[in-house]
Amino acid sequence: MTRTSQWPVPPDSIRYVIPAPVIRGLSQHPLTRDLYPLAFGHYRRAEGHHMHREQHNDHLLILCTEGEAYLNIEDQPCFVKGGDLVLIPAGAAHRYTAAPDNPWTIHWVHYTGPLASAFAHHMGFVDGLHVQHIGRQPRLLVDFNGLLSVQQTGFRSAGLVHVANRLRQLLAGVPLSLDQAAQTTQPDLEIIHNFMREHLAERITLDQLADLTGLSPAHFATRYRQATGVSPIQHFLHLKVEQACQLLDATGHSFAHISRMLGYDDSYYFSRLFKKIMGQSPTDYRHTHRH
């Protein structure tokens, strides 16, 4: 049975915990066993809300619609505010506390099943990313509220099969909501790419690129990949290789000299990078394209 916080729920908030025998049924039912909820709810202005778990066996998705909270996941502190979507994966030690002067309002769901980790990846929670800013998303609120439609069904199987599939709908729709949020918070790609082109002779970092946008490195990398399909550093390396191709075509410089021009003292390393991207060595490229 999942362990929820012991925050005393006032009349304008809801906590719904599915009994352990019913959970066993969900874990075996062919329509729910791959992904099913354990508990969910809606806390409004949750003053005094806090939790500390060293171990837990389920995933916890939290949508903060207003207010603030302090969160720590695997010793990584972060500040959660209205419009943030948080995923605490199974097994991650964590603690959170609602801000005393501006406590958060949240929708939340504990869930598990063989597909839980795959959905985490689908939602973009990868490479240690636990918080994504999603803004105001009516579609997501409808899906969270859909979970609460199971109330007053007496834990009947039909209602719980329905809510388990509402959970699947909720998780599957998160990337669509993120896409909508990205349209207004997308990094300015022209500025970023101009910076890359101006620094082809250097070895720039993800932190430098993120500073141009005002986002955290992890948040910037996620937004950039959503916009382009590749990581920012991967795109920068492709620009370097493009420039190397132009120099191989237009000059008689040795590849060692071209490598130094592009910030690589180790031409052997850059040659391997070139071959990985182009599918042929610099020597073969020069020979093929000059004859």
The CATH number linked to 291 is 1.10.10.60
Residues 267 and 198 grouped into a single domain: yes
Is the pTM higher than 0.75? The answer reads: no
pLDDT given for residue 91 in this prediction: 92
Residues 46 and 148 grouped into a single domain: yes
**Percent with pLDDT over 70 in the chain:** 95
Asked, for residue 284, whether it belongs to a domain, the answer is yes
Q: Looking at 67-182, which runs of residues are DSSP E strands?
A: 68-73, 76-81, 84-88, 94-98, 105-112, 131-133
Q: How many domains does the chain have?
A: 2
Residues 128 and 193 grouped into a single domain: no
Asked, for residue 4, whether it belongs to a domain, the answer is no
Q: Which residues of the chain have pLDDT under 70?
A: 1-2, 179-187, 289-291
Using DSSP, state whether 8 is helix, strand or coil: coil
Asked if residues 46 and 106 have their Cβ atoms less than 8 Å apart, the reply is: yes
Taking Cα atoms as reference points, which of 87, 89, 98, 106 lies closest to residue 49?
A: 98
**Sheet of strand 76-81, all strands in order from the earlier edge strand to the far edge:** 50-53, 94-98, 68-73, 76-81
pLDDT given for residue 44 in this prediction: 94
Q: Provide the domain limits for residue 136.
A: 14-185
Final residue in a domain of this structure, among 185, 212, 242: 185
Q: Measure the CA–CA gap between 142 and 130, rounded to whole angstroms.
A: 22
Q: Measure the CA–CA gap between 112 and 119, rounded to whole angstroms.
A: 11
Asked, for residue 290, whether it belongs to a domain, the answer is yes
Residues 51 and 173 grouped into a single domain: yes
Residue 232 to residues 118, 130, 206, 224, Cα–Cα distance (Å): 24, 20, 7, 6
pLDDT given for residue 282 in this prediction: 92
Asked, for residue 6, whether it belongs to a domain, the answer is no
pLDDT given for residue 5 in this prediction: 76
Asked, for residue 289, whether it belongs to a domain, the answer is yes
Asked, for residue 83, whether it belongs to a domain, the answer is yes
pLDDT digits (tens, 9 = 90+) for 54-107: 878 899 999 999 999 999 999 999 999 999 999 999 999 999 999 999 999 999
